[in-house]
Each structure stands twice: as structure tokens, then as C-alpha cells.
Structure 1
Amino acid sequence: MKFLKKIGKFLLGLAVVAAVIVAAVFYFTGDAVKVVQNQLKALRNSDVTAAYTYTSKDFRAATTEKQFETFVKANPILTTNKSASFPSREIFAGLNTTSTLDGELKAQDDSTTAITYQMIKEDGSWMILSMEVAQADTVTTDTPASSDLTETFSETGFAYTLKYPESWIPAIPQAGQALFSPSDEISAPTVNIRTYAYDDAGTLFTDLRDYISSSASYGEVKFTGEKTYTHTAKNGTQLKGKEVTITYDYDSIPMTERMIVIPGVVSGESYAWEYFASTQEYAGGKSAADAMLESWSI
């Protein structure tokens, strides 16, 4: 009986510690939630200009107010919801303090829509770095004109070509892998394309997801927005696979990644396309990465 009492006290102690941790996270993200709630209040009042002022410098550098307005119109729940709650919150303290807020918007009929905000501290204040509404596109810039992609990658041993900006330097670290980035810094926007000897892209997707989840290099990993992705090959074949957004810490740097896995045209080959950067720099390079993906000819 004494042993059971000790176990009970130990479990109670763990519960208290867990409660304290949760309370601390909610305390330190309280101001971030206030910023989001203020933005949503402005949107309910049809004041897009005011809502735009709650976004970060990187957000505004990558997304004009007009593009933001287009995104809002494409997601009417942002203006018609009657309330918003954010029960799931994470905070990352490193080179830049960032936070992830997962919540839901409640419609007038009480139905709910999931929404995720990435937040960043700027001059001591929380600002919106990115926002994603379930079953909608993340806010991004328009794809740059094809003239911005002045270089072409077409190397022996690769069953594809693609265009890329002059400032994004290509590298081939190993057979079947091509990297493109404007800098060799870990945090810099980077496109990484790898060829795998997999017949089934679904199996490759699962294996990569399991590897990332279990790898000590990635710290705490979170997967969001998993959905079907289709890429059209140059012969017209529809290459159907999956994509997912991943957030994690790498060398204490909060990172965001878009991973796409599709089958190849040739039997026995599948591809993993990754665009990743520090959470702070992700939005700034995404339009170039999207244009490169659009130009990817398999």
C-alpha cells in the first residue's frame, strides 16, 4: 500500500509539472494570441488594411496588401467567423523567438475550420509570420515571372530539368541529389531534390516521414496540412503523390519545410522535393521555390 501511495504521489508530481509547463506556454504566448485575435476582429469588420498591419516584415516583404486581400476573399471564414480559439500552442526560443498557434474558427452555424498561425517576435512584439487555413493555400507571393528564372539545371544522370534564379547556386552533394540555395547558411531558403529507388511514392513518403519523426537531428517535429499533390510530367503523365508542411528545430534554429513526394516517369524511381528555410526566412524564398517547382520538367 505504501508503494502504491508513493506511485500516486509521483504521478501527481508529474501532473503538476505538466500543468506548470502548459500554463507557462499559454502565458508566454498570450500576447501572440491577442495579436491574432485583433487581426481577426479587423477582418470581421472588413478592414483588410488594419489586419495587414499585424503581419511581420518578412510577411509584408513576400506578400503585398493586395495579395493578402485576395487570400482573405478566397477564405471567407476569416471574415464571417464569430469566434476563434487556440488551444494548441508552441513557443521556440532561439536566434529568433517564434511561436506556432493551432486553433479553429467557429462559423455562425457552429461548424469549425482549422487555422494555423506562425508568429515571430519583432522588436519585442509578436507579429504574424504566416497563416494557413485548412483546405486553403498558405499566404504566399505570386509566382515570379519566368524571366526571373534565368538559369537551367540539366545535368547528366538526372531525369529532369528545371529553371532557377541566377542567385540560387546549384550543387550536387551526391548521386541523385540536387541542391539550390542563395547561401550556404543552414537558415537560408533551399530547394533539395532527391531521387530514390522506390516503385511506390506512398511508401517513400511514409519512410521519410518516419525518419524525420525519429531523427534526433530534427528536435521536436510537427506535420501539418498533409494532402494529395499532382505534378504533370512533360509527356502529360499525372504523377500523383503527397505533400506536407513540417516544422522542426535544426541546430536550435526553428525551421519550416514543404515536402512533396511523387513517383517518377521511369519505373523504380520516386522523387522527394523539399523547400525549407528558417521559419523567419521561409516566406521570403517561397515564391522562387514555387516557380522552380512549376518549371520542374520530368
Structure 2
Amino acid sequence: MDRNSGSNLNVQKIDRSPSTSSIGSHGTVDSGRSTASTNLSSVSSRRRKGVLGRIETGFRSVFRRFSRPRTSLTEMEAQLLSATTNYTREEVLQWHKQFLIDNPNGYMTRKQFISMYKSLFPRSDAERFARHIFRAFDLDNSHTIDFREFLLGLSITSTTNSIKTKLEWTFNVFDIDGNGLLTRRECLEVIDAIVRYYLSSESGTHNSNNDSIVNLAKRSMMTIFDNVSQNPADKLTRSQFVEGCLKEQFISQLLAPTSNTVLINTQSTFDNHSTDSKHVL
């Protein structure tokens, strides 16, 4: 999930050359909607864990002071986003401008988020995939994504971040009920959606090996549960999930690719594991 693939925003328009636009220290540029401090303070405890939790905690303390509508982005906010993400100040402003073109209200609803993915990948099961990804972008659990959340998610999923950071973020994709623990059922559902989405978006058709690759991914995910502290577990914490994924090369490569190519060498990985294939579920 590279930062250039997660949106219908015109990425080609985002230029790394110095921006000619400027704003004063008290000036504003267009951004998303107003959110009261009570909304920011209602972030669930699971969002405070790990790297994302530390990011959110820092932003809550700053953004709660701003009562202005989020159709305006201050210089301070732009600088904070630049410091927290992999983007320069100029890129933050350009992303923000394009975000408002596609989302004039300053935020994206779940329906809009799903529609975006469906338009990008009409031949894949994008709706099912997007429902799970939306959960990770929606840091404050408001059922919408504002510009700040959008840019943080885009940055974290970029190839410049470490595999561990990406996996900590991906935990939220798998945590369907939001209780901070992953069950086997949750992991089987989400890994199935992710693999089928990637395979169909790459080929556009159903390949005879698709089901086998999906089952391989499910087996690898269940191995993480089985190997927790040398004792099979039915639930995973964030740290256990990250540690387990790092040990499972196929899952790590799938969830946190280190290049712009998704499912790198998936077919060869499948071939290497096909001799001990089992049926999952």
C-alpha cells in the first residue's frame, strides 16, 4: 500500500519542487471539517498503543485547541503534519489542496472511501477490502476520514516506513471489533479480503491458483497464533501480531511490502509451500 495508490487524488499533480504558495504563521489554507475537542478525547484505548497511538496522542493535545472549521489548515498544523509524516511542508499543502477538490466538505465518509477504491480497481473486490482499510485510517472512530487522518495513513503505508511501523498500523485493519485484540476469525476474514483484492486487482480475472494462494495466506496467519510463546493462542495483542508477522515471511511481504509492487513473488512463494498445502476453514 504505497502512498501513491491509496486514493483517487491526482498524484501526478503532487510535485516535489518547492511550492510557490505561502501562508503566514496565523494564515490558513483550506482543509476538512470542524471537530470538537470532545470527539478527539473519545479515541479508544486501542488507538493509543504503539506508534500510531503516540502520534494520535501528540496530535490530540494540539488539535483540540483549534475550534475553527477544518476547512482551514494553519501554518502550525501544516508544520506538524510535515514533522509527523514523510512529506515536506509544500507536499502537505498540495495534498491538502487536492484532498479538498475531491472532498469539498473536508472529510471523506465510509461510502466515499469505498467508492474511491471501487473506481480505482473496478475489477476487484474493492468494497470488502476498503471497509477494512477504512477502519485503520479512521483514527478517532468518527466513521469519517479528515485530511489529517488521510495524510497520516498515507504516510505510514508508504515504502519509506519500516516494516514494523506498517505492521503496527495494519493491526487496526484486522481489529474488526476494535477491542485491541485479534481473534482467529478476524484474521481469517481480513487476510482473505486482502489477498483476493490484491490478486484480482493485479490480474482482473480469477486465476486457478487464487484460492490456493488465499489458503496459504490463511495458514500462515494461523501459524502466528499457533506459535505464540510456543503455546497456541486464540487472541493476539498488537505486539504479538507484529512479532508473528515479522517471522512469517509471506505475511510480512503481503502486509508490509518493501517496494511499490504488492504481493511480490507471490506465485513463487506459493510454489515453495504447495507441497504441504492444507485446506483452511
State the TM bucket, normalised to the shorter chain: under 0.3
Structure showing the higher strand proportion among its residues? 1
Rg larger in structure: 1
Structure-2-length-normalised TM-score: 0.28
Kindly indicate whether structure 1 or structure 2 has the higher relative contact order, using CA contacts under 8 Å at least 6 residues apart.
2
Structure showing the higher helix proportion among its residues? 2
